[in-house]
Structure 1
């Protein structure tokens, strides 16, 4: 097997320590390839191997992956879905879902996520790189697709191990172990057989790491967070409380029973309804329970020109249920600002409703 599949940079000291204590919490975050809801994606095989290998350990799995989302949203979810749940190790999968973002943008959001996960020194982090059809030519030539190469720069900087699950599966195809259609019939989402291949690549990584950690002294208690790779990282981003938002019109704050990743939404279906808030930072990212029946918005900062959102609704998009983030503004001068937003109809954008269901107001500092 191609040794470039595995990059071992630092012993998984926190994982080993958790296993010794008898309680292990494993976290996953990424897109649809890692999402736990299909019940056959690669985290299932990894969890099964951990339980089989360490039968006396009480194992908790915190799969926080959401299909059709990237690291831009994950930055704001890290505390709620991984850190506050005391994960001892977190696997991060955004090579595919971030690949269409500009390099500078994804480097900021990815580094923000990694810094949040690493800041308190309480968990190990492993990057896992999946595959999409666009990666084939470069990977087949022994090169790294740009999205993966960017991630590996951060892995080197923060001494994070990584697994190229996509390369492992591609090698299996080349060796005749698996047919392409058994792996990726749509060029992106693995079948059960493809997910098994991905999990096997991670299991091989963990086997090596657990052997290694027995022979090397990890310095988990001496950890210090390196200086930022990119000074514009989103590591200090945070969600703004709905209590700090001023509303005009029929807005309601609801406990959101329809989507497990959102606790509450600030909701209206009234065209012309407005909200505003003051914030200290340099950007605003809004997270919606989004779909074909969702409204569009217009917004402005500090009394400037109004901007209008124009969000596409792909064929697979339903009426709602897509936790979609929209970065309204970034790269403002750091300081105090004022944001205003108004609900509008998305005329001509396959929009069939005016539901505005705001699950997150994220501030970038």
Structure 2
């Protein structure tokens, strides 16, 4: 695959139309490199550029990126955090955070996310590829890391634009415009200078899409555009088991045994409610229709572990890593229970456990969502 920073595949029809009508809602989803909370990540210079270039339009930003999360979680967050908030332009950043996942799994979750965002024909989507050190060897030789190559295959198939921000920054280092330590002071997360480089690569993409050709094409494009036309143009999936039909099962559907409560969760903006207990031995169960499950937790060093079984099979004990950077709670963590089931009706049983390891210092079990993979 040819290494290119900018790939213009389809005009940003929805973005142009929204700007012409006076209000654009821009969504971002990804990991810590895109997360809004540091206030210096690359969405900041991109937002500032949009505000400067289009003073006649109201720019609304929905940055739904969360550090230490991947596309597995994004599939189940897309509706609430991007689609229902009216995003007309969405940037996806999962080149890094999906890097350690099995290739087949990340292909399914990424395609599911993309299909959810494109299904109603209401928005433009652009992939934005960041960088981690494990990618350097391939990039040094002019190659494309597997995680990015797979995203580019998706982009080609669905006709979505892409910007390889990591390659743009590496080129700046090669040309002497930026020092490596200015780009990645901790070897992974850009601060102000590196984020500006990432943002400038996105701005260059938008300049070509919206300014060089956009003004001349806008009226002709929007005149022939209909939501139905775009929705019907969604191509056949690349992966037959993509997660695009995945759904959330209401927490109230779970049957419980022991001291459980569903409570509104005021501690983390991305979680609406949790099904919570701190009692070792507490149990829950539910039925679902699908092929597998991905559970979401407010997780941390004080979290419980659990064991589970499906359809009365063998019990499987979970033993999740708790890295040094992990706090006592506040990590919206997805837990993939596998996709080995025939599609149909199934039953999950779960029991809260301590974990029986020195690093398991608590028994807080806080289930934030039940994701059913179909």
Q: TM-score with structure 2 length normalisation?
A: 0.96
Give 1:162's aligned residue: 162
CA offsets per residue over residues 172-205 of structure 1, 9 Å max, x none? Answer: 0011100000000221100110000000000000
* Root-mean-square deviation over aligned CA pairs: 1.2
Whole-angstrom distance in 1 between the partners of 2:39 and 2:262: 32
Give 1:179's aligned residue: 179
CA offsets per residue over residues 112-158 of structure 1, 9 Å max, x none? Answer: 00000000010000000000011111112111000000100000000
The farther-off stretch of 153-162 and 342-351 is: 342-351
Give 2:202's aligned residue: 202
CA offsets per residue over residues 69-125 of structure 1, 9 Å max, x none? Answer: 000000000000000001000000000000000110000000000000000010000
Asked if the contact 1:312/1:349 (under 8 Å) is kept, the reply is no
Among residues 275, 291, 296, which one is paired with 2:300 in the alignment?
Answer: 291
Asked if the contact 2:129/2:163 (under 8 Å) is kept, the reply is yes
CA offsets per residue over residues 48-67 of structure 1, 9 Å max, x none? Answer: 00000001101110000000
Consecutive unaligned residues of structure 2, counting only runs of 5 or more, are: none
SS at match of 1:329: coil
Asked if the contact 1:237/1:363 (under 8 Å) is kept, the reply is yes
Whole-angstrom distance in 1 between the partners of 2:144 and 2:170: 13
1:356 is aligned to 2:369: no
The farther-off stretch of 269-278 and 133-142 is: 133-142
The farther-off stretch of 206-215 and 241-250 is: 206-215
Asked if the contact 2:3/2:143 (under 8 Å) is kept, the reply is no
Whole-angstrom distance in 2 between the partners of 1:13 and 1:147: 28
Whole-angstrom distance in 2 between the partners of 1:220 and 1:82: 22
Whole-angstrom distance in 2 between the partners of 1:127 and 1:349: 41
Asked if the contact 2:3/2:142 (under 8 Å) is kept, the reply is no
Give 2:53's aligned residue: 53
Whole-angstrom distance in 2 between the partners of 1:227 and 1:322: 35
CA offsets per residue over residues 226-285 of structure 1, 9 Å max, x none? Answer: 111101100011110012110100001110000000000000000000000011000111
Give 2:21's aligned residue: 21
Give 1:312's aligned residue: 321
1:63 is aligned to 2:72: no
What does residue range 242-321 of structure 1 map to in structure 2 within 5 Å?
Answer: 242-321=251-330
Asked if the contact 1:310/1:349 (under 8 Å) is kept, the reply is no
Query: How much does 1:220 deviate?
Result: 4.3
Asked if the contact 2:295/2:371 (under 8 Å) is kept, the reply is yes
Query: How much does 1:213 deviate?
Result: 3.1
SS at match of 2:4: helix
Distance 1:352 1:220, change over 3 A: farther
1:134 is aligned to 2:121: no
Whole-angstrom distance in 1 between the partners of 2:356 and 2:176: 50
Distance 1:3 1:148, change over 3 A: closer
Asked if the contact 2:3/2:144 (under 8 Å) is kept, the reply is no
The farther-off stretch of 218-227 and 317-326 is: 218-227
Give 2:106's aligned residue: 106
Give 1:144's aligned residue: 144
SS at match of 1:363: strand
Whole-angstrom distance in 2 between the partners of 1:230 and 1:327: 18
Distance 1:181 1:358, change over 3 A: same
Query: How much does 1:362 deviate?
Result: 0.5
1:235 is aligned to 2:205: no
Q: TM-score with structure 1 length normalisation?
A: 0.98
Consecutive unaligned residues of structure 1, counting only runs of 5 or more, are: none
Asked if the contact 1:285/1:327 (under 8 Å) is kept, the reply is yes
Query: How much does 1:4 deviate?
Result: 1.4
Whole-angstrom distance in 1 between the partners of 2:197 and 2:304: 41
1:214 is aligned to 2:223: no
Give 1:327's aligned residue: 336
1:80 is aligned to 2:80: yes
Whole-angstrom distance in 2 between the partners of 1:220 and 1:329: 40
Query: How much does 1:212 deviate?
Result: 2.6
